[in-house]
């Protein structure tokens, strides 16, 4: 399915996160309603080994409480309000599990799952995510990505048919990571920060048969610029705006 995405693809960053609290079911459902081509979401492990969907390593910013996700049980995480920080209209929205997300929207959108075990880079997140993808039979509807090379190598070995997206840090560190990991994993897409994207990078990436996806592109002029540079897709908080600008794209 990665190769059937429209160009440029609109990937809702943490769901339609301009319109609903990031990484919640309302944000994912809204992204689908708004016509996003794919949805990006972030996963990590709770203290009791459940795969939960939240970007930060702590719960502070998105719940108003304090603590590290990896030190809290699923029961505690589920009791938190992950909606009010965004808007009181979303009060009571929960931190979803990956199982809930796959169950609710796995058949309705293409998903980019980012493995965010950056606190504990050798934990069992890759095995648990691979099991869930297998259980829901969604190998054809997933793109896996991470800044953590160990997680990428492990999940690639478990799910060799699922495409890998190489998340690239900006600047020279990112270039090193690309060449190092690129030798170990046949990744399908490079996920670059907007500031690093040049027409030369677009050309070189596509000449290798890989897609170039750019994060995180929200301003109208930047969305337009990425479109004219020929990137394969953007991560955006605002699928509605991207759809307006990408109205004439190829399918
Ligand atoms: O996956 C693309 C983009 O989401 C990476 O940045 O900080 O949102 O995980 P971040």
* pLDDT values of the chain reduced to their tens digit, one per residue, 251 residues: 899 999 999 999 999 999 999 999 999 999 999 999 999 999 999 999 999 999 999 999 999 999 999 999 999 999 999 999 999 999 999 999 999 999 999 999 999 999 999 999 999 999 999 999 999 999 999 999 999 989 999 999 999 999 999 998 877 767 766 777 777 888 999 999 999 999 999 999 999 999 999 999 999 999 999 999 999 999 999 999 999 998 866 54
Q: What is the pTM of this model?
A: 0.96
Nearest alpha-carbon partner for 19 in 240, 242, 191? 240
55 is catalytic: yes
The CATH number given to whatever domain includes residue 126 is 3.20.20.190
Residue 63 in any domain: the answer is no
Rounded distance from Cα 214 to ligand 1 centre (Å): 10
Q: Is 210 in the pocket of ligand 1 (CB under 6 A)?
A: no
> Angle between the 98-105 and 25-33 helix axes, to the nearest 10 degrees?
30
Q: Residue 75: inside a domain, yes or no?
A: no
Do the domain assignments include residue 87? no
Residue 80 half-sphere exposure toward CB, CA atoms < 13 A: 26
- Within-domain flag for 88: no
Report if residue 206 sits inside a domain. yes
**Does residue 13 have an active-site annotation?**
yes
Domain enclosing residue 128, as ranges: 2-58+95-248
Ligand 1 in reach of 235 Cβ (< 6 A):
yes
- Ligand 1 site, residue 191, Cβ cutoff 6 A: yes
The reply to whether 76 falls in a domain is no
- Give the chain's domain count: 1
Question: Which residue has a Cα nearest atom 7 of ligand 1?
Answer: 55
In a domain, 159, yes or no: yes
Answer yes or no: is 203 within a domain.
yes
CA 38 to chain centre: 9
pLDDT of residue 250: 58
């Amino acid at each position: 399915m990665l190769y059937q995405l429209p160009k440029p693809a609109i990937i809702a960053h943490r769901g339609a996160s301009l319109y609903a609290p990031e990484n919640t079911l309302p944000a994912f459902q809204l992204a689908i309603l708004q016509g996003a081509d794919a949805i990006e979401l972030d996963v990590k492990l709770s203290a009791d080994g459940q795969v939960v969907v939240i970007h930060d390593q702590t719960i502070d910013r998105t719940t108003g409480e304090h603590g590290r996700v990896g030190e809290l049980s699923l029961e505690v995480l589920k009791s938190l309000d992950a909606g009010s920080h965004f808007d009181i209209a979303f009060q009571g929205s929960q931190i979803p599990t990956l199982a809930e997300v796959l169950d609710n929207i796995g058949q309705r959108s293409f998903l980019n799952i980012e493995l965010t075990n950056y606190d504990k880079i050798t934990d069992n997140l890759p095995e648990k995510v691979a099991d869930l993808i297998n259980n829901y039979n969604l190998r054809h509807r997933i793109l896996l990505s991470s800044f953590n090379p160990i997680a990428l190598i492990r999940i690639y070995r478990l799910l060799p048919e699922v495409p890998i997206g190489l998340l690239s840090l900006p600047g020279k560190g990112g270039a090193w990571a690309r060449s190092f990991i690129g030798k170990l994993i046949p990744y399908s897409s490079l996920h670059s920060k907007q500031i690093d994207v040049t027409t030369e990078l677009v050309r070189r990436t596509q000449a290798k048969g890989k897609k170039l996806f750019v994060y995180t592109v929200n301003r109208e002029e930047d969305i337009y610029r990425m479109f004219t540079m020929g990137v394969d897709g953007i991560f955006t908080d605002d699928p509605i705006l991207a759809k307006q600008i990408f109205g004439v794209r190829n399918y």
